[in-house]
Amino acid sequence: MTDNSTGSTKHYVLCNRCQKPTNATERGVVTSFDPEVGIPSLVTLVSCDTCKFPLLFLQEDYGQGWDDMFRVWPSATRYLSSAVPKPLRDEHNQARKCFDAKAYTAAAVMVGRTLEGVCAENNVKERTLILSLRKMKDNNLIDERLYQWADELRVLRNEGAHYTGSQVSREDAADALALSEALLDYMYVLSAKFEEFRKRRSGKTRAAAAVPTQPATKTASATRPGKTSK
Ligand SMILES: [Zn+2]
pTM: 0.58
Q: Supply the CATH number for residue 183's domain.
A: 1.20.120
| Counted domains in the chain | 2
Instruction: Indicate whether 63 and 19 sit together in one domain.
Output: yes
Residue 96 has pLDDT above 80, yes or no: yes
Task: Please tell me the distance from the alpha carbon of residue 123 to that of residue 107, in angstroms, as a whole number.
Answer: 24
* Closest residue by Cα to residue 142 from 112, 187, 190: 187
Whole-number Å distance, alpha carbon 11 to ligand 1 midpoint, is: 12
Residue 55 CA to ligand 1 center (angstroms) comes to 9
Domain membership flag for residue 185: yes
Residue 230 lies in a domain: no
Give 52-74 pLDDT, tens digit per residue. Answer: 999 999 888 878 889 888 888 88
**Average pLDDT rounded to a whole number, residues 8-14:** 90
Per residue in 125-171, pLDDT tens? Answer: 999 888 999 999 999 888 898 899 888 888 888 888 888 778 888 88
Same domain as 69, residue 103: no
Ligand 1: distance of its center to the CA of 79 in Å? 20
Separation in Å, CA 122 to CA 119, 128, 132, 135, 139:
5, 15, 10, 10, 10
**Domain residues for 156?**
86-193
Cα 92 to middle of ligand 1, angstroms: 28
Residue 94 lies in a domain: yes
Helix or strand holding residue 32 (H, E):
strand 20-32
Cα–ligand 1 centroid distance for 4 (angstroms) = 20
Å from CA of 189 to ligand 1 middle:
29
C-alpha of residue 27 to centroid of ligand 1, in Å: 15
